Amino acid sequence: MKNIQLLVLTCFFCGCITTNFNRQEIDLPGEKIKNKEERLRELYSETVVPFFEDLENLSIPINFQVDQKDLSINAGAAFDYIEVSRGLINLENEPIQIFVLAHEISHLAILEQKQILGIQSELPKGSKINDYKKVEYLSDLIAIYLIKTNYPEVFDLLDSNFCYLQEILGAASFTHPSGKERIDSIKKYVKNIRKGNENISFRNRFIHIWEMQ
């Protein structure tokens, strides 16, 4: 259990593209925000955080920090804070911003999802895929599942941006699968939910990733 907790805390979203995209905004209730940073904070608190409120044992980070020097599209989360890059703030694509933020909180939600699904085993070590990459796949899956079930209109916009998201996710590293591998994994889940029940598809995909060799 300690090993996966360490993985959850040390895996950060990895993005390397700093260019902007056609502005895609999500309508939220309330007053107009003043700048891009306030808008991202609003997306986090009013859109992303509610995705996770049903997870009773999850401590959702409240402190919102900004790395002003990081112009890549990047974010990271621990149990008491979430940190985002200036590049993520400047990204003019809110569906992808929501996915990045949800992905980071999903790192913290993996253990509770494991318990909800009744998985008794520890994260098995694969012969071809390491634990770090499994955690990335699982975080992607949880984020997409929660976006699809809570905010389907955002999911539809994100679905149409998978090619751009793949570019943002970039090349593979020791801790992260490549953007293509991650999008392919997401698409397998999306294909399954279009054929049947979302919850069953989520459970099956989660277990498949958990047991990957």
pLDDT in tens, 28-86: 555 454 599 999 999 999 999 999 999 999 999 999 999 999 999 999 999 899 999 99
Q: Where are the domains of the chain?
A: 2-210
When pLDDT is cut at 50, 70 and 90, the band that residue 13 belongs to is low
Q: What is the pLDDT of residue 107?
A: 97
- Return d(Cα 173, Cα 144) in angstroms, integer: 22
Distance CA 2, CA 8 (A): 10
Question: pLDDT grade, residue 187 (50/70/90)?
Answer: very high
| Type and span of the H or E element at 163 | helix 162-169
Q: How far apart are CA 167 and CA 211, in angstroms?
A: 27
CA 93: distance to chain centroid?
15
> What's the pLDDT score for residue 144?
98
Instruction: Work out the percent of the chain whose per-residue pLDDT is above 90.
Output: 79
Q: What is the pLDDT of residues 146-183, one digit of tens each?
A: 999 999 999 999 999 999 999 999 999 999 999 999 99
Please classify residue 58 by burial: count the beta carbons closer than 10 Å to its beta carbon, then call 0-12 exposed, 13-18 middle and 19+ buried.
middle
- Mean residue pLDDT across the chain: 89
The residue type of 212 is M
Beta bridge partners of 65: 83
Among residues 48, 1, 17, 12, which one has the least CA distance to residue 161? 17
Report the alpha-carbon distance of residue 192 to residue 204 in Å, rounded.
Answer: 10
Alpha-helical segments (H) within 11-160: 36-42, 49-51, 86-90, 94-116, 131-150, 152-159
pLDDT tens digits, one per residue of 113-151: 999 999 998 998 888 899 999 999 999 999 999 999 999
Q: Exposure of 72 by Cβ count < 10 A (0-12 exposed, 13-18 middle, 19+ buried)?
A: middle
> pLDDT at position 211, please?
95
Whole-Å CA distances, 135 to 11, 47, 104, 157, 177 = 8, 23, 11, 25, 10
